Structure 1
Amino acid sequence: MSATQISAKDVAELRARTGAGMMDCKKALEEANGDMNLAVDILRKKGIAKADKRADRAASEGQIVIWTNADATVAAMIELNCETDFVGRNDEFVALSKKLAEHLGQDAAVDGLVAVGAEGAYLSTPWAFDKAQTVGDIVKAASAKTGEKVELRRIARFATSGVAGSYLHFNGKAGVLVEIAGGKGEQANELGKHVAEHVAAGVPVVAIAVDKDGVSQEFLAKEREIFVAQAVESGKPEAIAQKMVEGRIQKLLGEVTLLGQPWVRDDKQTVGDLVAATAKAAGQPLAVKRFVRFKMGES
């Protein structure tokens, strides 16, 4: 792609993702031959962009809904998309979203996160409230009735012998499920709510794993490469730059792992500190086993 083919829209998108200046964005896109993700890396390596602020996005409206059973051992979450906010707030659409979440809650075959989408295998699942129909039939009927594309984008279900905590933002645009293992009761339930609320807030960034053991080696390798390039760009010899990397990686792990993050309600303690304190008070070996976060328009 030549420089003349770099559109203003692409430059604006890269600027939104990185916070870099327009000319820096344009040059990075030219160097990357129009590859947006590569342009982000180029800006980060040059120290012009701190990080990519934007996940892959989809222009979408709709509802994120959570269903939880009576004893908080099962929680289910769905994202049902449509084209306009008008339809997304419609009473029938909201009711269907809740019914889909209830259906999922009853489906013991699902454990964890499942991407569904327009052609997903989950659409062939018999509908819990009328076995003559499938989940796909129900979604198609909603599309026909609203006149808009309706899509069950993703689903998640946690079943546990501990506690399935959850948090749903008031506008139905963000939701979180958290599994607390090692105990039950009021304190475990409260911990599940607090941790889910923290994950939803995404502070300082959206966590990518519970702890460092859950962070992929691919992610760490890419970040190491970028940190070294930033140090070299600032004038450090590569041998020195390599030595500096490990400290920055450890700092990064504290930022992107859930237990290492400062708790959103009290930044003087980490989420890990909160879990440990609650476990001690409850006299139970409480631990965060897993979490999943949905935000409308993000993958």
Structure 2
Amino acid sequence: MPTVTTSMISELREKTGAGLLDVKKALDEAQGNPEEAITILRKKLGSKIDKLASRATKEGLVHSYIHVGGKVGVLVEINCETDFVAKTDDFKAFCQDVCLQIAAASPSYVRREEVPEADLAKERDIAAAQMAGKPPAAVQKIVEGKLEKYYSQVCLLEQPFVKNPDKMIKDILSENVGKLGENMVIRRFTRYQLGA
């Protein structure tokens, strides 16, 4: 039976908007299969899951941040469902935290689905070449581990939060979705660095 990881739980929470315990139980019951877990959640929680995940996020903010000294600047678009939530201090604080993360950790993409297949193939080739001579089963596991590490470097949602490295940005996003009661999406960002 595959181990249910915190990243699996976070991803499923982000997709469904379901509570932490509900997601963990569903993943355990589905033996780590996310599609099956979604089906289980839909059966248990009914239309609540469908409604939250499908709710449009057309409001929000474009937030800016200039790092001390003016050498790094960030623009990020974070969407939510209502203008009311977009104006709250909690939402603005989350936007600021995301900007700080981008300034400090310099991600290239918001989510892993945005990473070009050519980049992933290159990373797989590099990792496999480093493992030359090892058994194929071990090489496959090591390559997958190195890809996960790569995602945590280049994908904003996969990065450890600079203010609390025990949590990833997607965990902070899920917490804010729960706290504010609305679907939220980090849509896109641009990071400017002087001379880069």
Q: TM-score, normalised by structure 2?
A: 0.63
Q: Does the 8 Å CA contact 1:210/1:257 hold for their aligned counterparts?
A: yes
* Aligned equivalent of 1:198: 101
Matched letter for residue 277 of structure 1: E
SS at match of 2:59: coil
- In structure 2, how many angstroms separate the alpha carbons of the residues matched to 1:284 and 1:165? 19
Q: 126, 139, 155: which one pairs with 1:226?
A: 126
Higher relative contact order by CA 8 Å / sep ≥ 6: 1 or 2? 2
SS at match of 1:227: helix
Instruction: Kindly provide the CA deviation profile for residues 154-207 of structure 1, in whole angstroms up to 9, marking residues without a partner as x.
Output: xxxxxx7311112101211100011111241222221111100111011xxx21
- In structure 1, how many angstroms separate the alpha carbons of the residues matched to 2:171 and 2:140? 31
The alpha-carbon deviation at position 236 of structure 1 amounts to 1.7
- In structure 2, how many angstroms separate the alpha carbons of the residues matched to 1:208 and 1:264? 16
- In structure 1, how many angstroms separate the alpha carbons of the residues matched to 2:159 and 2:70? 25
Task: Identify unmatched segments of 5+ residues in structure 2.
Answer: 1-57
Q: TM-score, normalised by structure 1?
A: 0.42
In terms of fraction of residues, the more strand-rich structure is 1
Q: Percent identity?
A: 35
Instruction: Kindly provide the CA deviation profile for residues 31-53 of structure 1, in whole angstroms up to 9, marking residues without a partner as x.
Output: xxxxxxxxxxxxxxxxxxxxxxx
The alpha-carbon deviation at position 251 of structure 1 amounts to 2.8
What is the root-mean-square deviation in Å for CA atoms of aligned residues?
1.8
Larger radius of gyration: 1
Q: 180, 185, 189: which one pairs with 1:282?
A: 180
- In structure 2, how many angstroms separate the alpha carbons of the residues matched to 1:269 and 1:169? 23
- In structure 2, how many angstroms separate the alpha carbons of the residues matched to 1:291 and 1:247? 27
In terms of fraction of residues, the more helix-rich structure is 2
Q: 145, 148, 151: which one pairs with 1:253?
A: 151
Structure 1 residues 151-170: aligned runs within 5 Å: 161-170=59-68
- In structure 2, how many angstroms separate the alpha carbons of the residues matched to 1:276 and 1:238? 37
Task: Identify unmatched segments of 5+ residues in structure 1.
Answer: 1-159
* Aligned equivalent of 1:188: 91
- In structure 1, how many angstroms separate the alpha carbons of the residues matched to 2:101 and 2:70? 17
Structure 1 residue ranges (4+ consecutive) displaced by more than 3 angstroms after TM superposition: 237-240
